[in-house]
Amino acid sequence: MSEVEQPQIYLITPPEVELSRFPDRLAAVLDAHDVACVRLALATRDEDKISRAADALREVTYSRDVALVIDNHMLLVERLGLDGVHLTDGARSVRKTRKALGQDAIVGAFCGASTHDGMSAGEAGSDYVAFGPLRDTGLDDGTVAERDLFQWWSEMIEVPVVAEGALTPEIVREVSPFTDFFGIGEEIWNAEDAVKALADLKAEFS
């Protein structure tokens, strides 16, 4: 990524959304900030809940020309009129997903802190690779995607990279020169004013 380009914003929904409120919160953020993509990342596997959330958010994103992708549920992409899918199993499903959805769909891959998985995902047809979290959250196995990983990737690999998970203003400032996107979710949704919270993070972009 060129030194003069700032990272773009890739918004991630909370694991649970209240459909009477969240679409309006999302709309306010999209109206205040340039956002490249929104990811529907619900914890539920209830197809009806996912479908209703996708329908509500698609109305918000479509009218603002912002892409909407979904976590993992490849079979719902075409059915719900979404722009693509974010896979959370590294490179394993990328090739199959790309073949199923075609070249126009967005296919992204979360690869933890594994550059090997990231390169494999890129070779299999992923549009971007996401690494994270960027600090220890006390969850999962404690793996952290370090600043050096993003610096190496930006210098060696052309596939766009997303930094996501447990972001802080300090981490954003450090990683900003080496990432194409910041995946931002609960960092702003947990704040009372999501628009301001995102503005505060963007202020650290370099």
pLDDT of residue 137: 78
Tell me if residue 190 falls in helix, strand or coil.
Answer: coil
Output the pTM of the full model.
0.95
Residue 139 has pLDDT above 90, yes or no: no
Range in 2-16, 42-56, 115-129 with the lowest mean pLDDT: 2-16
Beta-sheet pairing, 67-71 with 37-40: parallel
Confidence of residue 1 (pLDDT cuts 50, 70, 90): very low
Torsion of CA 74, 75, 76, 80, to 10 degrees: 110
Q: Do 129 and 150 form a contact (C-beta atoms < 8 A)?
A: no
Domain 8-202 has CATH 3.20.20.30: no
d(CA 41, CA 177): 26
- List the beta strands (DSSP E) in 46-83: 67-71
d(CA 65, CA 43): 26
The number of residues making up the chain comes to: 206
Residue 124 has pLDDT above 60, yes or no: yes
Average per-residue pLDDT in the chain?
95
